[in-house]
Amino acid sequence: MLRLAKYLKPYLLLVLIAVALLFVQANADLALPDYMSNIVNYGIQQGGVQNAVPAAIRQSEMNRLVLFMSAGDKPMVLGDYTLADKNSPDYEQYVKDYPALANEPVYVLKPIDQAEVSKLNPIMGKALLVVSGLEQALADPARAQAMGQSFGFDLSNLPPGVDVFAMLQKLPPATLSKIADTIDQKFATLGDSMIVQMSVGAVKTEYAALGMDTSKVQTDYLWHTGFLMLLVTLLSIACTISVGFLSARTAAGLARDLRRNVFKQVESFASTEFDKFSTASLITRSTNDVTQIQMVVILVMRMVIYAPIIGVGGIIRALAKSTSMWWTIALAVIVLLGLIMTIFSIALPKFKVIQSLIDRLNLVTRENLSGMMVIRAFNMQGFEENRFDKANVDLTSVNLFVNRVMVVMMPIMMLIMNGVTVLIIWVGAHAVAQSQMQVGDMIAFMQYAIQIVMAFLMLSMMFIILPRAAVSADRIADVLEMEPHIKDPVAPRQFPASFKGNIEFRNVNFRYPGAEEDVLHDITFTAKPGQTTAFIGTTGSGKSTIINLIPRFYEVTGGAVLLDGVDIREVTQHDLREKIGYVPQKGNLFSGTIESNLLYADENASDEDLKLAADISQSTEFISAKPEGMQTEIAQGGTNVSGGQKQRLSIARALVKKAPIYIFDDSFSALDFKTDAALRKALREHTRASALLIVTQRIATIKNAEQIIVLDEGKVVGKGNHEELMKSCEVYQGIALSQLSKEELA
């Protein structure tokens, strides 16, 4: 995958925006369990009261509370409150909020931050618990005796109607300080959250004493928290949609670029590179492999980046709720990692096999479709069906194996997730019963655990998908990183302005890449403009190889090929091929019309040029016979025209180019002798200034050529015209006499 990372540069901004949105989404998703915890803890259990710090408190009650605060805590608490009475400027507003203000002064909490509230919570909570407990103890002799031990005297012996708080106010400061220290020691085993939760009842009692509507406090808190949850959920949804859009755009753009670059790279391949990649494999790499990359980019941007954020964030927030249950998450993670590693080790080798099997299936399918007529002619349908079935069954069996592994993984992971949920409820219930944890915190911890497990579940899915995508990425990178064997020079030369088309082979040798021997040996000849140079020889003698060296479809391994005195390796391939009209052995036509195929050589050619090319190639007759004429549709590969018509249209396409050099690689083989003769006559008349190179097996086709080069086993064994070769070259004589009688050769 890293080999293709550079192709993501144009989309780096989209990726960064997506990552930022994923952080926002993850934080929003992680905040939801907190809100749920607050609803349970504060909204339901605590009646909407979040802190042990009352928003307002009667002066008489505050006087009682400060009795049980240390000397340092008392001024801090009073400093955060404002004493409101009938002379206060905001009295009218205060009395509406706190009706008890009409009877006595009220302390109103100043605007303070959360950090200050956190400092006041345990101080006020302890004091509230002591005061409320003391008030309850006075009605219960047993509790009064127990609490009295903390104050140094038995509260149960006090006469009825005695104000115990007034008595406490008369105690020396040292005694009050000792009482405050004793209270701190008794509450040391409880955490701050439990102290706050236990003191909420006292706060609600104080609110009722102030004349406040406590049910409205609870309702307002639930509505406020629920509204925040809705906003956070909408934010998460918006981020999800945005990331989905950005990931899809990035993946689609990357896939488009990869397909374009692969196609562009393949277009620059010479025959040497095509020998390394089969056509079926290149098609698979351009389609199936690119699709794999596209899919994995979407999943990486959507899941792989999101999962670690939610996993790490979930662990941090879960531990903030309870550090005592960390082992439940650790146990789930360890089991998950073991499962993922096991599946990964089983499935990874199979993904490499799948891609090669897809190549094989494409190859068999392509061969069957392109060779259907041959298959039917030899009654080999059964054999080909068996060959296709084998390729298909092999691919299916491997895919089924991988899918079975995937099927096993999902229920096991769901079992782990549900097992962790049950374990957290069991352990958390004991912690709640022992006042070590609140119910809402247990619910939030459980939700965080599920988020963590789901994060690992997402990553595990990627561990299955990524290996296959990595194989596809390597296959695409192999094509993109393939160095073309034939390259343009760094400082190219230009052909002379008055280009003639003189071709010279100077001591040329050629060897196919990886071969042990040369297939061409010391080839030397000159093909002059205005003349026809023909190549003939036995099968495999190197005829087509020689002419493929001229447009640099292959590169010479020794010697040089020169056009008008310029080595073809010193000019660009574009400039070189601009000078050549090429007709291959197999006439390739493209889907479109006859006109579009002819314009392939020169898109600016006029109708007269097209008509002249059709006349020379002897195509006019069958084109005119079609109702649409030049607009007749050509099927893919030219399957709706005959072999001879295909060859003639290929020749016409080359003639439209009006090139100084024409190469005909056995391009008359599908023509009858009459059409062949008429075509050669027309060529001679209309291409007098061009150099014609013809590869053929027909003596009749090249009998009138100015120069005939006879090849045998990659060597030139004869050179001259027909009459000269009939006298001096045995190979030529043998070929000629096998085709024509002595009278016809005369």
Question: Cα(68)–Cα(131) distance, rounded to whole angstroms?
Answer: 8
Which tokens hold the place of 86? 């009938």
pLDDT of residue 141: 58
pTM given for the model:
0.70
C-alpha 18, offset from chain centre: 13
Residues spanned by CATH 3.40.50.300 within the chain? 503-579+659-745
Identify each DSSP E strand in 484-607 by its residue range. 503-510, 520-527, 532-537, 558-563, 566-567, 580-583, 592-593
CA distances (Å), origin 433, targets 188, 329, 426, 442: 18, 21, 11, 12
- The set of residues, in sequence order, having a beta carbon less than 8 Å from that of 302 and lying 6+ positions away, is 243, 244, 247
pLDDT of residue 546: 92
pLDDT of residue 184: 67
Question: Cα(217)–Cα(207) distance, rounded to whole angstroms?
Answer: 10
Q: Three-state DSSP class for 535?
A: strand
What's at 449, amino acid-wise?
A: A
How is residue 105 annotated by DSSP? -
pLDDT of residue 237: 94
Q: Three-state DSSP class for 197?
A: helix
Starting at the earlier edge strand, list the strands of the sheet with 106-109. 56-58, 106-109, 81-84
Round the CA-based radius of gyration of the chain to a whole number and report it.
46
Which tokens hold the place of 569? 């390796």
Contact criterion met (CB below 8 Å) for 692 and 664: yes
10-residue mean pLDDT series, the chain (746 residues):
83 92 92 87 81 89 85 88 89 89 90 89 85 70 56 54 65 69 68 78 88 86 92 94 93 92 84 74 84 88 86 84 80 81 76 78 81 80 89 89 79 82 84 76 85 80 74 85 84 89 93 85 92 89 90 90 92 91 84 89 88 90 88 83 86 90 85 83 86 88 89 91 89 86 69
The angle formed by the CA atoms of residues 659, 662 and 663, to the nearest 5 degrees, is 145
Question: Cα(531)–Cα(661) distance, rounded to whole angstroms?
Answer: 10
Question: Cα(646)–Cα(635) distance, rounded to whole angstroms?
Answer: 11
Helices (H) and strands (E) in the chain — how many of each? 29, 15
Question: Cα(147)–Cα(134) distance, rounded to whole angstroms?
Answer: 7
If we measure between CA atoms, which residue out of 504, 502, 509 comes closest to residue 556?
A: 509
- Class for the domain spanning 503-579+659-745: alpha beta
Q: Three-state DSSP class for 528?
A: coil
Question: Cα(573)–Cα(550) distance, rounded to whole angstroms?
Answer: 11
pLDDT of residue 464: 67
Q: Which long-range contacts (CB under 8 A, 24 or more apart) does 222-226 make?
A: 222/39, 222/43, 222/48, 225/35, 225/38, 225/39, 225/42, 225/43, 226/39
What's at 655, amino acid-wise?
A: L
pLDDT of residue 183: 67
CATH 3.20.20.140 fits 2-34+224-480, yes or no: no
Identify each DSSP E strand in 68-142 by its residue range. 81-84, 106-109
HEC profile of 351-413? HHHHHHHHHHHHHHHHHHHHCHHHHHHCCCHHHHHHHHHHHHHHHHHHHHHHHHHHHHHHHHH
What is the full DSSP assignment across 274-306? HTTS-HHHHHHIIIIIHHHHHHHHHHIIIIITH
- Residue reference for tokens 């009667």: 58
Residues spanned by CATH 1.20.1560.10 within the chain? 2-34+224-480
